[in-house]
């Protein structure tokens, strides 16, 4: 019972101290609780009634309560004096305190930079749904039914979302789904840049379940690989620097034919694979860094988009926004971009 009384007195004192507006009130509180005839001393007189073990425990509790009240009284008195000094002297000519200003996130800055670069050569910015149908994400892009990308261990499918015409609903795994939608909505010539969020079941230092991707699509008469290569070179020189170059290697993607893996020359050795001192480049080992995929739009995809492949050809490319910015700024862990740590973000 007495323990509860001590705790109640402590809470009562703390509450009154926090509401005190001046030193006079603080002194009254100190006298009422800690004075010779104060409430704490009145409880102390009850200690002899208890056993030795109880006396020790109750005494310890009372001493801790006294220290808590004394400490809070001292702190509050200091704060009141400091506030009083400020009120007594205030220079109205002093400049106000600047409110911290926020800034755009590094991913947003990169998206804006990419958009500006492609806008200079006639690309129109587009954006298509994040919750997509299987037709636009896979079937219409020439993916067979048994393709690994259509497995539930790779793609986020949405429960209870199904269309007889377009198949299952899903979170779009790539911005390539925008190709068919753009071809349906726009007659050639097409120069589209689709930047959006994508979702895949991947999570490590270089992959995130949610990430940003940008997709380029060009469809017109007479489009060929040289136009693709020239576009890649232009982007890399604008984004990474005038000394950087693009390289394409034969590969396989379902929605392009022929298909290519795209590499960018290393920033350290500029594509040579060796440093100035003759040592092998530790960044790339061989002079080039893989950046993403590209290729000529597959005739089946053109047909599914309502375009005659006998009359028109096109190319497409798609890469992660985080990937290109990590390569540009030398960031080794994609998770840093999503953790919201201002110590990291303020560097950019």
User: What CATH number does residue 245 fall under?
Assistant: 3.30.930.10
The structure tokens listed for 6 are 């001590």
What's the total number of domains in the chain? 2
| Cβ 173 vs Cβ 200: under 8 Å | yes
Please give the residue range of the domain that contains residue 205.
106-345
Neighbours of 31 (CB within 10 A): 12
202/68 Cα distance (integer angstroms): 52
| Cβ 142 vs Cβ 157: under 8 Å | no
Q: Is residue 97 part of a domain?
A: no
Q: Is residue 200 part of a domain?
A: yes
Name the pTM for this structure. Answer: 0.66
Question: Residue-wise pLDDT tens for the chain (348 aa)?
Answer: 676 777 777 778 777 888 878 888 878 888 887 777 777 777 777 777 777 777 777 778 778 878 888 888 888 888 877 766 555 666 778 888 888 888 889 999 999 999 999 999 999 999 898 999 999 989 898 887 777 676 666 788 898 999 899 889 999 988 988 999 999 999 999 999 999 999 988 777 667 888 899 999 999 999 999 999 999 999 999 999 888 888 899 998 888 999 999 988 887 777 777 777 778 877 677 778 888 899 999 999 999 999 999 999 999 999 999 888 888 887 878 888 888 888 888 888
Asked if 65 and 132 sit in the same domain, the reply is no
Q: Is residue 99 part of a domain?
A: no
Helix axes 23-34, 52-88, angle to 10 degrees: 170
Asked if 72 and 204 sit in the same domain, the reply is no
Q: Which of 88, 119, 137 is the last residue of a domain?
A: 88
Q: Is residue 98 part of a domain?
A: no
Asked if 81 and 129 sit in the same domain, the reply is no
The four Cα atoms 127, 121, 297, 252 give a dihedral, to 10 degrees, of: -90
């Amino acid at each position: 019972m007495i323990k509860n009384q001590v705790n109640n007195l402590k809470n009562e004192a703390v509450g009154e101290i926090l509401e005190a507006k001046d030193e006079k009130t603080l002194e009254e509180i100190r006298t009422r609780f800690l004075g010779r005839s104060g409430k704490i001393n009145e409880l102390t007189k009850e200690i002899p009634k208890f056993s030795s073990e109880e006396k020790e425990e109750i005494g310890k509790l009372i001493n801790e309560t006294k220290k808590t009240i004394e400490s809070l009284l001292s702190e509050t008195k200091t704060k009141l004096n400091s506030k009083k000094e400020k009120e007594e002297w205030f220079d109205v000519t002093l400049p106000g305190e600047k409110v911290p200003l926020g800034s755009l996130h590094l991913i947003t800055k990169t998206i804006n930079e990419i958009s500006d670069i492609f806008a200079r050569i006639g690309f129109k910015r587009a954006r298509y749904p994040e919750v997509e149908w299987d037709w636009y994400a896979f079937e219409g892009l020439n993916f067979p039914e048994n393709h690994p990308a259509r497995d539930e261990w790779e793609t986020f499918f949405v429960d209870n979302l199904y269309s007889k015409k377009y198949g299952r609903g899903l979170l779009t795994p790539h911005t390539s789904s925008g190709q068919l939608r753009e071809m349906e909505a726009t007659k050639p010539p097409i120069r589209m840049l689709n930047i959006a969020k994508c979702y895949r079941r991947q999570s490590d230092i270089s992959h995130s379940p949610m990430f940003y991707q940008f997709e380029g699509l060009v469809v017109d008469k007479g489009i060929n690989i040289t136009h693709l290569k020239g576009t890649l070179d232009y982007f890399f020189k604008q984004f990474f620097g005038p000394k950087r170059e693009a390289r394409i290697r034969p590969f396989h993607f379902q929605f392009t034919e022929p298909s290519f893996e795209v590499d960018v020359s290393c920033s350290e050795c500029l594509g040579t694979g060796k440093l100035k001192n003759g040592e092998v480049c530790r960044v790339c080992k061989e002079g080039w860094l893989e950046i993403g995929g590209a290729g000529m739009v597959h005739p089946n995809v053109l047909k599914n988009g309502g375009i005659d492949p006998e009359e028109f050809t096109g190319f497409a490319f798609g890469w992660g926004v985080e990937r290109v910015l990590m390569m540009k700024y030398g960031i080794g862990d994609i998770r840093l971009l999503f953790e919201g740590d201002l110590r990291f973000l303020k560097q950019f």
